[in-house]
Amino acid sequence: MLSRTHLSAWTLVVLLSAPPVLAQDSSDPFAEIPNETPAAAPASNTPAGSDASASDPFATETDAGGAAGEGDAESTTDASGEFGAGFEDEYGFDPADEFASAEEPQERDPWEGFNRAMFRFNDTADRWFLKPTAVSYRQVTPIFMQTGVSNFFSNLREVNNILNGVLQWKWGQAGNDTGRFLINSTVGLVGLLDVAQYMGLEPGDGEDFGQTLAVWGVPSGPYLVVPLLGPSTVRDVPGEVVMWYTNPLAYIDNSSVEYSLRLLNVVQTRASLLQAESLLQGDVDRYVLMRDAYLQRRDYLISDGEQEDDFGGDMDEYDF
């Protein structure tokens, strides 16, 4: 009698990642393009005494040496070239200072040396293993199947959203997430179809235990890059542990099936970020960009998108 065999998660990793790794340069449409020095512009044949604006209908007054462009520049920059000085002189405040956060990201990153080392480690692992696998998955998987897989794992995360919504006393959001989970798990074919959104139950931004700790008053602590997991904070690390056990996949008896599904979730998530990654090309500090984006996103989620309005205090007495 033939015994049943199970495809392990590691075998799936090797099968998916080996071909694109060997041919990464030729098959990865999102590979970084090295900076190229633009070719020198050909010498102009325009006589020295001719007017440049006459030959270029799109030339601005600044390009032609007009005084108007210089006046515009002076309205927003001072003699030292700092942007916003003109606004400060005219309106009495500097927009950069008004909208700056009370705590700069650099102050939240005292372990930058360690974090940069972990960032390089994660980036190397992503470049050689996860990204090629995601590119291959995206190329061979139809769009409707990718959408179904994404909906399936998003539906499983509703369990974590419901739990943390209750812990934060967000009864309306917890009820919305409960309805989404019940409807999509049944009518939506175990979550492959997002039927609930057509019934008025829109997906939320998501809740996790890190946000719950923030609502309970726990400070975020320093910024931390976790190996293989990526950006986090000291407060958010326990949230990853809680999320692992609130995921219904943790209660599958067959470990091969559980880890294969978890791997599929990671690959699908990485594939969904390929297009956004193309925006990071160029001469930028990717570590600083990722850190600031993560911290700002976390602050947005914790406050549920509510920003403190500094203007309006003096205007409330007026009725418009």
Q: Name the band, by pLDDT with cuts 50, 70 and 90, for residue 276.
A: confident
Query: By percentage, how much of the chain surpasses pLDDT 90?
Result: 56
pLDDT of residue 59: 44
Same domain, 133 and 278: yes
Query: Mean pLDDT, to the nearest integer, of 95-119?
Result: 73
Same domain, 134 and 265: yes
Same domain, 96 and 136: no
Q: Name the band, by pLDDT with cuts 50, 70 and 90, for residue 103.
A: low
pLDDT above 90: residue 115: yes
pLDDT of residue 305: 78
Residue 277: inside a domain: yes
Residue 201: inside a domain: yes
Q: Name the band, by pLDDT with cuts 50, 70 and 90, for residue 166.
A: very high
DSSP secondary structure string for all residues of 1-57: -PPP----HHHHHHHHHHHHHHTHHHH-TTPPPPP-PPPPPPPP-S-TTS-HHHH-T
Same domain, 92 and 182: no
Same domain, 152 and 289: yes
Residue 33: inside a domain: no
Residue 31: inside a domain: no
Same domain, 133 and 80: no
Q: Residue 290: give the domain boundaries.
A: 105-302
Selected residue with higher pLDDT from 307 and 5: 307
pLDDT above 50: residue 82: no
Distance separating alpha carbons of residues 217 and 211, to the nearest angstrom: 10
pLDDT of residue 284: 78
Same domain, 160 and 111: yes
Query: Mean pLDDT, to the nearest integer, of 23-51?
Result: 44
pLDDT above 50: residue 157: yes
In terms of average pLDDT, the best of 3-7, 82-86, 214-218 is 214-218
Same domain, 183 and 296: yes
pTM for this prediction: 0.64
pLDDT of residue 25: 42
Same domain, 86 and 110: no
Nearest 5°: phi and psi at 194?
Answer: -90, 80
Query: Mean pLDDT, to the nearest integer, of 99-121?
Result: 80
User: Is 181 buried (19+), middle (13-18) or exposed (0-12) by CB count in 10 A?
Assistant: buried
Same domain, 197 and 232: yes
Same domain, 80 and 194: no
pLDDT of residue 306: 73
- Under 8 Å CB-to-CB from 277, ≥6 apart: which residues? 30
Residue 91: inside a domain: yes
Number of domains in the chain: 2
pLDDT above 60: residue 90: no
Residue 308: inside a domain: no
pLDDT of residue 89: 54
Q: Name the band, by pLDDT with cuts 50, 70 and 90, for residue 104.
A: low
Same domain, 94 and 147: no
> What is the chain's mean pLDDT, rounded?
75
